[in-house]
Chains A and B, each alone.
Chain A
């Protein structure tokens, strides 16, 4: 379980002024919940994730991860999937997927087998000997998902992972992610600026808006699972949710864009 308690984050500008990026943010992510944080660019979404991972310290308030206050880099039982795939360009797809298993001291034969299994699961079975530079952006992203799933962390943080992809690839990958999550439940905190993605994936959508960013709404998504993302746009419930979430994003969006 992850809990934000009245978290405020301040940064100092090069001019020496203090600027609040996040203001009094409180919310919880339950175990096995798929929680999506959505907000316009510049509202502090990525900062929120960096705080949760302990990559940067909070200014006020507390973040509690599995009963412990986050004070330094969280590195036990968590996964992190970033906007760029961040693969090792000098390692093959299989070696990349194996690296977290190697860190955990899994014996070589076993980590090979596990990595192979995950490569198959994300559709990279034929490309295990390829180098990241030989893969398309979507395939690199698949590889980074497989790398994270391979060591089976209880919680995964995702920072706009599908942001740089084209719309078709994005939809396919969202479906892949949901299928993996359906078979192997995990707590996910997913950051995005894409409303459709937020509704399509999440159990809960947390809307962050404003400068400094603060929580505007916590909206449960009652859409039944499994979901067919490519056909969601025609669903009336989806359209209602979309309109509702937009209403929380509306104030101030014009000035930010």
Chain B
């Protein structure tokens, strides 16, 4: 399972960002693992930044402690106990989908649970059963 995107449909309501936080029993935006921002101004539409569940994730390759492991079907799992907060993973992700928790100085990454999909009224986000086939 992974989150798939049709960004052109996005109206920028950011309901998904709040949903991600609620899923973690949080209110607000400090724990959200998805970000919606404009492409140099809202007239050009939005970029939805979220982990795309790469098959061969660069973030895993640079993790020095093995805290990040590839997940079956794409994406990663984070073992927070092993993480030392070096931030290499953030630098390795070209799309910026590794978020950072300033409170604990550790990364936050989408787990592809699909909760945000329920709060996307315009079909930008959907949950794909088989993930990561298009990207190598």
Are both chains from one complex?
A: no
Q: Which positions in B face A, CB cutoff 8 Å?
A: none
Q: Which positions in A face B, CB cutoff 8 Å?
A: none
